[in-house]
Amino acid sequence: MKECKIIIMGFGSVGQGIAQSIALKKAMIKDKYGVELKVVAAVDSSSSAINQDGLEEMLLIHSKNSEGKLSSYPDYGSEVSGLDVLDAVEYDLLMEATPTNIETAEPALSLTHKAFKQGKDVVTSNKGHLAIKFKEITKAAEDNGVEFKYEASVGGAMPIINFSRETLSSCGIKSIIGILNGTTNYILSRMTSEGSTYDITLKESQELGIAETDPTQDVEGIDAACKTVILANSLLGIDATYDDVEVNGISNITSHAINLADKDGYLIKLIAEVSPNTLKVSPRLVKKGSTYDVSGTLNMATIKTDLAGDVTVMGLGAGSLETASAMLTDVISILKDKY
C-alpha cells in the first residue's frame, strides 16, 4: 500500500477542517485510489505535533481546542514550528493553511519555496503569496517538478479554478464576474432583509463568527481583490498583482442606499470583475432575481466563455470543512497523477 505523508501547516479553522476531512475520507481514498493518507505533522503558530508513524486527526483537533496548542498532543507534542518542521519529518505533501498576509506574503511564501526545493507537492488555501508573487511561485513549482494546487484560495467550496481548467478546457475565458467574499455577502444580505445599519450588522456577524475580530480584509474588499488576482493569473493568463486591482469595500454602504436600490428592484453586492481590461472590486447594483441574487455566505461567479457562453458556479465561500473539501480535492488530484 502506497502512503502519502502530509504536513498540515496552520491549525486554525481551515487546518482543523483539513484534519477532520482526512479523518472522514481517508478510508474512501485508500479504497478508491490505493493510497493511505498519513498526517505526520500538524503545526500551529508556536508549536506542533510530529510523528513519522502518523498522528490521529481528531486527537490533534482535541489537543488544540482543549489546551490551545498542538504541543499538548500526547507523547508527540513539540515546540518545533514553522520552517523547521519541514526538516524535522519525512513528508510528501504540504497542506498550507497559514493566515493570509498581503504585505510580506509570509509565512506562506517561504514555506512554499522550501517545500518545492525539497521536491514536495503543495496544496494551499492561502491568498497572500499568490496575490503578490503568483508568477514566481508557479514558476518555482514548475522548475522543481512538483505539483502546486490552490483551488481553495478562491471561493472556498465553490468550484472555479479546476472547473474552468478541466470542465471548460475547450473554451477561452473572456471574463469572470462574481461575488467572491462570503462575509460581505452575508452583511449586505442581512442589511437588505433586516433593514439594519452596517455597524449593527457587522457586530452581529462578528458575534456569529462570520466576520473576523478585525474585519478589514473582508469589508474593505482586500480578500476579494486577492482572489481577483489569482483568477486573472490562473484562468486569463494576466500577469497581475494585488496593486493592479482597483479596490473599494462596503464600509460606506448605508441602509438608506440599500433601501433605495430595493425600491427599484436592485440589490447592492460586492462584485469582483476579472477581464483583460478590468481588474476591479466594488459595490455594484445587481438585479433582483439575477444570478447575482445569492444570500448568506454564498459565493458565485459567472464565467464568460467563447464556446459555452456564460457558465455560472456557486458554493459556500467560507467555512472550515467547506474550504478543506477543496484542498482535499486537490490532494486527490495529485494522488491520481502521481500514485
Closest CA to 160 of 338, 315, 16: 315
Task: Report the C-alpha gap between 230 and 100 in whole angstroms.
Answer: 13
Is residue 181 located within the same domain as residue 271? yes
3-class SS shares of the chain: helix, strand, coil, % to 5: 45, 20, 35
Is residue 271 located within the same domain as residue 324? no
pLDDT at 317: 85
**Cβ(251)–Cβ(219) below 8 Å:** yes
Is residue 310 located within the same domain as residue 168? yes
The model's pLDDT over 233-261, given as tens digits with 9 standing for 90+, comes to 999 999 999 999 999 999 999 999 999 99
Is residue 86 located within the same domain as residue 199? no
In terms of residue numbers, what domain contains 174? 163-316
Is residue 177 located within the same domain as residue 246? yes
* DSSP for residue 164: I
Cell of 281: 472590486
SS3 317: coil
Is residue 148 located within the same domain as residue 51? yes
pLDDT at 194: 93
**Cβ(118)–Cβ(319) below 8 Å:** no
Is residue 134 located within the same domain as residue 182? no
Q: Within the chain, which residues score under 70 in pLDDT?
A: none
pLDDT at 318: 78
Is residue 176 located within the same domain as residue 280? yes
Looking up residue 209, the CATH number of its domain turns out to be 3.30.360.10
pLDDT at 1: 86
pLDDT at 233: 98
The angle at the Cα of 137, spanning 333 to 152, to the nearest 5 degrees, equals 45
- Mean pLDDT, the chain, whole residue set: 96
Residue with grid cell 465561500, as numbered in its chain: 317
Cell of 21: 476531512
- Describe the strand order of the beta sheet including 121-124 as a list of residue ranges: 77-78, 48-50, 35-43, 2-9, 93-96, 121-124, 148-149
User: What amino acid positions are annotated as catalytic residues?
Assistant: 227
The model's pLDDT over 300-319, given as tens digits with 9 standing for 90+, comes to 999 999 999 999 999 998 78
Is residue 226 located within the same domain as residue 334? no
Is residue 324 located within the same domain as residue 275? no
Is residue 331 located within the same domain as residue 290? no
**Cβ(241)–Cβ(167) below 8 Å:** no
Task: Report the C-alpha gap between 306 and 315 in whole angstroms.
Answer: 24
Alpha-helical regions (H) of the chain: 13-33, 57-67, 85-88, 108-117, 128-143, 161-162, 182-194, 198-207, 216-219, 222-236, 255-263, 320-338
Task: Report the C-alpha gap between 111 and 9 in whole angstroms.
Answer: 9
Domain count along the chain: 2
